[in-house]
């Protein structure tokens, strides 16, 4: 069974990639991931707040809007609270490259052009096979236009691509009014891969203490539908590779994403929930499914259920929405 795929020009032994998580803070965990069968590992994200150790820089990065909401500063961690500093992060990349044969993809979550560029270069020097830009940006300023937001993403890609030679991926949110056009703009800017989609960790309210509470919930399999839709729509229309991330807990999600057109399928929640050894189960189930249906390779499957290859492309558009509502009415209304 040929499980090989190519992601951003990097040949992978299979499409399964361990996405950014605290698991990659430990070299032994990365070794276990390789032994279990993952094709590549994305390091946990390095935040620009970690990079800018000087108190003046941290204060500058975290004080935006503080005049209106002074309590907002309490939600930013002190530099000392980060488990691993910037230099330790680079050393982890070096050690990981020496310890395993799979590609190591650095993850950078920045705020300023300087932050993106400086550390993208240093990650490349440390031996990263590629760099994933994890853009976690909420346009909460009501004066910021959609065009300004889009231009910011495009400029980030252009600046980093000019600074490094290794492939650069961009982990995106789905919150663009015309996501297809945005994907094309990023493709034209030179991005090597699009990772769909980032999960924003929205706060909750504690109604007893009347406080904003922070909590992390692992993804569920039902969350694959949005990235599945857009990967199926974008497949074959961009030069950049497509990676799926969200809701991957079993082989079924891997199969669906690949059939939509994903070059790589990333998972974190499954590894945190079931352990790193769960990778072997995922890949074993994938191979069994392919063998039972006489698929010889991942390449044969890839994009077979994309918009450009299905018999009814309206299944990804408005027509399907109308049909679903009609079916619902027929089933549940007298």
Per-residue pLDDT tens digits of the chain, which is 334 residues long = 899 999 999 999 999 999 998 899 999 999 999 999 999 999 998 877 666 653 444 455 455 444 444 444 444 445 454 455 788 899 999 999 999 999 999 999 876 666 677 789 999 999 999 999 987 777 778 898 999 989 989 999 999 999 999 999 999 989 899 999 999 999 999 999 999 998 777 778 888 888 887 766 777 888 899 999 999 999 999 999 999 998 999 999 999 999 999 999 999 999 999 999 999 999 999 999 999 999 999 999 999 999 998 877 766 666 565 565 566 556 665 6
CA distances from 79 to 55, 82, 93, 168, 196 (A): 9, 6, 21, 27, 30
For the chain, what is the domain count? Answer: 2
Residues 333 and 248 in one domain: no
Residues 187 and 334 in one domain: no
pLDDT at residue 326, rounded to an integer: 61
Residues 325 and 293 in one domain: no
Residues 268 and 319 in one domain: no
14: tokens are 């299979």
Residues 246 and 319 in one domain: no
Q: Which residues contact 147 (CB under 8 A, 6 or more apart)?
A: none
d(CA 266, CA 171): 12
Q: Which element (helix H / strand E) includes 200?
A: none
Whether the bond between 188 and the residue before it is cis, its omega within 30 degrees of 0, is no
Residues 321 and 277 in one domain: no
CB hemisphere CA count around 177 (13 angstroms): 6
**What's the domain range around 140?**
5-303
Residues 269 and 323 in one domain: no
d(CA 232, CA 262): 8
Q: Which residues contact 35 (CB under 8 A, 6 or more apart)?
A: none
d(CA 222, CA 228): 11
Question: Strand, helix or coil at 290?
Answer: helix
CA distances from 191 to 11, 56, 83, 206, 233 (A): 18, 32, 30, 40, 18
Q: 245 has which bridge partners? A: 266
CB hemisphere CA count around 290 (13 angstroms): 23
pLDDT at residue 6, rounded to an integer: 98
pLDDT at residue 329, rounded to an integer: 54
pLDDT at residue 52, rounded to an integer: 64
Residues 206 and 234 in one domain: yes
pTM score, whole prediction? 0.86
Q: Please state whether beta strands 5-7 and 10-12 pair in parallel, antiparallel, or not at all (unpaired).
A: antiparallel
Residues 205 and 280 in one domain: yes
pLDDT at residue 298, rounded to an integer: 98
316: tokens are 């990804």
CA distances from 121 to 33, 58, 114, 130, 161 (A): 26, 21, 11, 11, 10
Residues 328 and 219 in one domain: no
Query: Other CB atoms closer than 10 Å to residue 261's CB: what's the count?
Result: 28
Dihedral in degrees, nearest 10, Cα atoms 164, 166, 167, 171: -60
pLDDT at residue 310, rounded to an integer: 82
d(CA 308, CA 22): 37
Contact, 203 vs 212, CB < 8 A?
Answer: yes
pLDDT at residue 66, rounded to an integer: 45
pLDDT at residue 54, rounded to an integer: 38
pLDDT at residue 69, rounded to an integer: 41
d(CA 104, CA 80): 26
Residues 253 and 318 in one domain: no
CATH label of the domain that carries residue 136 = 3.20.20.70
Residues 315 and 261 in one domain: no
pLDDT at residue 134, rounded to an integer: 87
């Amino acid at each position: 069974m040929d499980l090989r795929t190519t992601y951003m020009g990097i040949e992978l032994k299979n499409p399964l990639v361990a996405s950014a998580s605290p698991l990659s803070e430990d070299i032994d965990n990365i070794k276990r991931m390789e032994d279990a069968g993952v094709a590549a590992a994305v390091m946990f994200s390095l935040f620009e707040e970690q990079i800018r150790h000087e108190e003046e820089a941290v204060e500058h990065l975290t004080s935006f809007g503080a005049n209106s909401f002074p309590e907002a500063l309490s939600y930013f961690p002190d530099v000392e609270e980060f488990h691993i500093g910037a230099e330790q992060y680079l050393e982890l990349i070096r050690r990981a490259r020496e310890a395993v044969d799979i590609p190591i993809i650095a993850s950078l979550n920045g705020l300023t052009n300087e932050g993106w560029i400086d550390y993208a270069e240093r990650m490349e020097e440390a031996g990263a096979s590629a760099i994933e830009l994890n853009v976690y940006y909420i346009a909460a300023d009501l004066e910021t236009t959609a065009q300004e937001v889009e231009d910011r993403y495009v400029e980030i890609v252009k600046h980093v691509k000019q600074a490094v030679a290794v492939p650069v991926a961009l982990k995106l949110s789905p919150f663009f009014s015309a996501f297809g056009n945005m994907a094309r703009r990023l493709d034209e800017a030179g991005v090597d891969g699009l990772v769909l989609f980032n999960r924003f960790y929205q706060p909750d309210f504690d109604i007893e203490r009347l406080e904003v509470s922070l909590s992390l919930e692992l993804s569920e399999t039902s969350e694959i539908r949005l990235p599945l839709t857009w990967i199926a729509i974008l497949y074959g229309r961009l030069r950049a590779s497509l990676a799926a991330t969200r809701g991957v807990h079993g082989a079924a999600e891997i199969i669906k994403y690949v059939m939509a057109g994903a070059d790589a399928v990333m998972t974190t929640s499954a590894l945190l929930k079931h352990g790193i050894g769960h990778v072997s189960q995922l890949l074993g189930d994938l191979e069994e499914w392919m063998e039972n249906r006489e698929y010889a390779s991942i390449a044969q499957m890839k994009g077979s259920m994309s918009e450009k290859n299905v018999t009814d492309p309206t299944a990804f558009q408005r027509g399907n929405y109308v049909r679903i509502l009609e079916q619902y009415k027929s089933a549940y209304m007298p």
